[in-house]
Amino acid sequence: MRVTYASQIAASNVDLHVTEDHVEKVGDLIAEQARAGGSIVLTGGTTPGPAYRRAAATAPDWGRVTVWWGDERCVRPDDERSNYLVAKQNLLDLLERPPRAVHRIRGELQPADAAGELDHALDGAELDLLLLGLGSDGHVASLFPGSPQLDVENHRATSGPAGLEPWVDRVTMTLPTLLSAHRIVVHVAGAGKADAVAKAFGGEISRDVPASLLRVAPVPVEVWSDAAAAAKIDG
Ligand code: 6PG
């Protein structure tokens, strides 16, 4: 029997969904947004691939979608560390109709130049669905614990060094940009994330745990997690 429960964590706008069906659920909510059209912000890392494949299978027409990335590693787009490559292999190449626009963060450029390009492209953009992963250190996008990039408020995107592997420079949307999304979804799985989930969504809101800062957003933070990653959060 699959364990599925949802809870509104007290005193915060976190909707925690704990289910072993998290891949299907996240894939389906991505597909739902693709059918509706609008802007979808993708994440990188190892978690989202299966959900992307699910989304491509259930909603293969992305003709009304504008695709963004919340962050990118400063590598070429064909580098195995590229967040763009994760989406290309698990989503974009599987679609019957491609997105109307793809704002690839050009990781092959100098970090500041790639950040400036993203900052300019985001001017006036509305972000409908923001998909984020969660680092074991509590980072989201490439906003790492205690990093100066957390304090950038006069730009929509910025760049800086990695705070976790892979140790390459990063380009990232800034916190105000993340908080502006109309829907915020964090997809996390595995026992290795249990401490980060507990701190980010059950502990104090702190720059030391960047994901916790999502809780000041005007919209709920939806967390889709397996039981292992949610094992240490109270309630
Ligand atoms: C990145 C990602 C990052 C990712 C988390 C979780 O560039 O590293 O955008 O924010 O979502 O690090 O990564 P995993 O899914 O690989 O655990």
pLDDT in tens, 179-217: 999 999 999 999 999 999 999 999 999 999 999 999 999
Instruction: Read off the tokens for 223.
Output: 């967390």
pLDDT recorded at residue 2 = 47
User: Is residue 1 very low, low, confident or very high in pLDDT (cuts 50, 70, 90)?
Assistant: very low
47 lines ligand 1 (CB under 6 A): yes
Q: How far apart are CA 186 and CA 196, in angstroms?
A: 12
**Atom 12 of ligand 1, nearest CA residue:** 135
Closest among 199, 200, 137 to 163, alpha carbons compared: 137
Q: Tokens at residue 31, please? A: 């597909």
Torsions phi, psi for 72 (to 5 deg)? -150, 150
For the chain, domains (ranges, CATH) are 4-225 (3.40.50.1360)
When pLDDT is averaged across residues 90-118 and rounded to a whole number, the result is 98
Contact 42, 83 (CB under 8 A): yes
pLDDT tens profile 129-175: 999 999 999 999 999 999 999 999 999 999 999 999 999 999 999 99
Measured by CA distance, the residue closest to atom 11 of ligand 1 is: 133
Mutate to test the pocket of ligand 1, among 22, 46, 71 (most ligand atoms within 8 A of CB): 71
Q: Where are the beta strands (DSSP E) in the chain?
A: 4-8, 14-19, 38-42, 65-69, 71-73, 101-102, 129-132, 157-160, 170-173, 184-188, 221-225
Q: Is the CB of 135 under 6 A from ligand 1?
A: yes
Confidence of residue 12 (pLDDT cuts 50, 70, 90): confident
CA of 130 to the centre of ligand 1 (A): 14
Residue 35 and residue 55: Cα distance in Å, rounded?
A: 10
> What is the residue with the minimal CA distance to atom 3 of ligand 1?
141
pTM given for the model: 0.96
pLDDT at 67 over 50: yes
Please give the mean pLDDT across all residues of the chain.
95
Atom 8 in ligand 1: which residue has the minimum CA distance? 45
